[in-house]
């Protein structure tokens, strides 16, 4: 599956809801950027840098590859 802003957005939202986080909480956990960025990403209206993908993946407890659609394995390697 290839990377797209829409896929990234769906996966961020899925992981955020599974983690029981609001957009504001995720934005704070992922480095303190404006929560509006999370909203734009989730709606596929904004892409993110590699650094921000890594921050989101870490805050959500998922792999960056999964967020980007490069893997179907949600968790980071070495985790359940």
Report the CATH number that the domain containing residue 47 is assigned in CATH.
1.10.260.40
Domain that holds residue 46: 5-68
For residue range 32-48, list pLDDT tens digits in order.
989 999 999 999 999 89
Is residue 27 one of the residues assigned to a domain? yes
**DSSP per residue over 31-57, as a string?**
TS--HHHHHHHHTTS----HHHHHHHH
Tell me the C-alpha to C-alpha distance, in Å, between residue 67 and each of 23, 55, 78: 16, 11, 17
In a domain? residue 9:
yes
Mean pLDDT (the chain, rounded): 90
Is 80 a domain residue?
A: no
The model's pTM: 0.88
pLDDT at 77: 53
CA–CA gap between residue 31 and residue 15 (Å, rounded)? 17
Question: Average pLDDT in the 8-37 region?
Answer: 96
Q: How many domains does the chain have?
A: 1
Query: What are the backbone dihedrals phi and psi of residue 41, each rounded to the nearest 5 degrees, phi first?
Result: -65, -50
Name 42's Cβ contacts closer than 8 Å, sequence gap at least 6: 9, 10, 12, 13, 16, 23
């Amino acid at each position: 599956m290839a990377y797209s802003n829409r896929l990234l957005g769906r996966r961020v939202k899925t992981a955020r809801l599974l983690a029981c986080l609001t957009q504001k909480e995720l934005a704070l956990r992922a480095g303190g950027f404006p929560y509006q960025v999370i909203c734009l990403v989730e709606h596929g209206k904004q892409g993110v840098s590699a650094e921000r993908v890594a921050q989101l993946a870490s805050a959500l407890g998922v792999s960056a590859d999964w967020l980007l659609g490069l893997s179907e394995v949600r968790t980071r390697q070495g985790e359940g």
